[in-house]
């Protein structure tokens, strides 16, 4: 028997969020007991996660959101958990000093490594993660996964072992095929709203990040085009009733960041060459630059959700200020092609940002209230 399809989005909801939510204390405790102390079973950990996910679903529904996620409650990282479960990928832990550098802090030293031919397995755990979410909500369920560019950008050249993948054209083609299969499998599981976080488009607007790629012998502008093509090829055969979102930011780890730079260098490729329906764009600080790149979005059904509301700090933005920012944005893109979401997730890793669960809830309430104030509906 085929799974029940999730509610069809005839037009995307105006109020949304990127995906991750703060991990509740019982989940953090259970993960510590399972992974560190090894004092509880996998079934006990899952039971704790299940209960917490039902709670976060109810919280999202209660604030008025018409689209909900599982908060990425079962994950340690927003991206590595997905990547590590792909055929051909492995996650390796190394010297803490090697961790990816954010502003003033290093990420935990987990390194994705490509050891064999890439594929999306039929039993990828996040398919069941989606099924559980969909079975426990009456609104639109959404799952967020890392986009295909992540599998290249976050994997060091020395950690790509198969000889054929030294040719980036071959690697990128296999990544597109792997993700195309993922799209099909999520659709089979009932998913009609899939988000792929391709944040490295924004990274490639940062002079330091661009210099690093140049030092590796890769032209960053060529890479932007290749990343856009990978996404396009991964989603081009999706069914007509499946909505694809994409999130872009400049890093989010314990309220810190890793990159900066305006979207000008990538906007045309992102909006017009990927085939994505919805774009979640970080816009909470000057590090994201101005709104001018929004002009590259063509008239039609695509939407941009500018992230004027930050998840990094607890202070609430005012609705009046947010309405003013949307007035500014409407100079470049029609207000009917806009929506609202926070600038990033609240917990891109299980550590979470430096805010409380109550502050998180108030941010989501603000998203809904602002959508109602501007469009009359969430």
- The tens-digit pLDDT sequence of the chain (378 residues) is 334 444 445 457 999 999 999 999 999 999 999 988 999 999 999 999 999 999 999 999 999 999 999 999 999 998 999 999 999 999 988 765 554 544 444 456 788 999 999 999 999 999 999 999 999 999 999 999 999 999 999 899 999 999 999 999 999 999 999 999 999 999 999 999 999 999 889 889 999 999 999 999 999 999 999 999 999 999 999 999 999 999 998 866 656 656 688 899 999 999 999 999 999 999 988 887 899 999 999 999 999 999 999 999 999 999 999 999 999 999 999 999 999 999 999 998 888 889 999 999 999 999 999 999 999 999
CB 248 within 8 A of CB 198: yes
Angle made by CA atoms 68, 73, 79, in degrees to the nearest 5? 95
How would you classify the pairing of strands 87-93 and 110-119? Answer: antiparallel
Fold of 25-375: TIM Barrel (3.20.20)
Both tokens assigned to 344 = 């990033």
pTM, full prediction = 0.92
């Amino acid at each position: 028997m085929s799974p029940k399809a999730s509610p069809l989005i005839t037009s995307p909801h105006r109020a949304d969020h990127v995906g991750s939510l703060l991990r509740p204390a019982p989940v953090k405790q259970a993960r510590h007991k399972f992974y560190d102390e090894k004092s509880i079973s996998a079934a006990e950990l899952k039971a704790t996660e299940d209960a917490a996910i039902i709670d976060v679903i109810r919280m999202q529904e209660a604030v008025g959101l018409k689209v909900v996620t599982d908060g990425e409650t079962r994950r340690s990282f927003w991206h590595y958990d997905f990547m590590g479960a792909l055929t051909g990928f492995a996650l390796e832990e190394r010297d803490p000093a090697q961790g990816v550098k954010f502003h003033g802090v290093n990420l935990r030293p987990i390194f994705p490594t490509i050891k064999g031919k890439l594929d999306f397995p039929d039993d990828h755990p996040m398919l069941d993660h989606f099924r559980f979410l969909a079975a426990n909500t009456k609104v639109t369920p959404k799952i967020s996964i890392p986009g295909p560019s992540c599998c290249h950008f976050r994997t060091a050249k020395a950690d790509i072992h198969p000889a054929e993948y030294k040719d980036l054209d071959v690697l990128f083609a296999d990544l597109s095929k792997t993700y195309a299969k993922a799209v099909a499998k999520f659709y089979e599981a009932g998913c009609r709203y899939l988000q792929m976080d391709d944040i490295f488009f924004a990274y490639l607007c940062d002079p330091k990040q661009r210099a690093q790629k140049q030092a590796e012998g890769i032209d960053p502008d060529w890479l932007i085009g290749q990343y856009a093509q990978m996404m396009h090829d991964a989603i081009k055969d999706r069914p007509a009733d499946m909505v694809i979102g994409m999130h872009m930011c400049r890093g989010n780890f314990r309220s810190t960041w890793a990159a900066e730079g305006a979207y000008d260098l990538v906007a045309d490729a992102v909006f017009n060459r990927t085939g994505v329906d919805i774009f979640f764009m970080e816009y909470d600080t000057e590090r994201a630059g101005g709104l001018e790149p929004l002009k590259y979005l063509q008239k039609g059904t695509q939407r941009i959700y500018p992230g004027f509301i930050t998840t990094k700090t607890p202070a609430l933005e005012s609705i009046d200020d947010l309405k003013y920012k949307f007035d500014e944005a409407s100079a470049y893109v029609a207000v009917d092609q806009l929506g609202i979401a926070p600038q990033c997730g609240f917990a891109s890793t299980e550590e979470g940002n430096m805010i409380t669960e109550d502050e998180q809830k108030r941010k989501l309430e603000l998203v809904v209230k602002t959508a109602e104030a501007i469009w009359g509906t969430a």
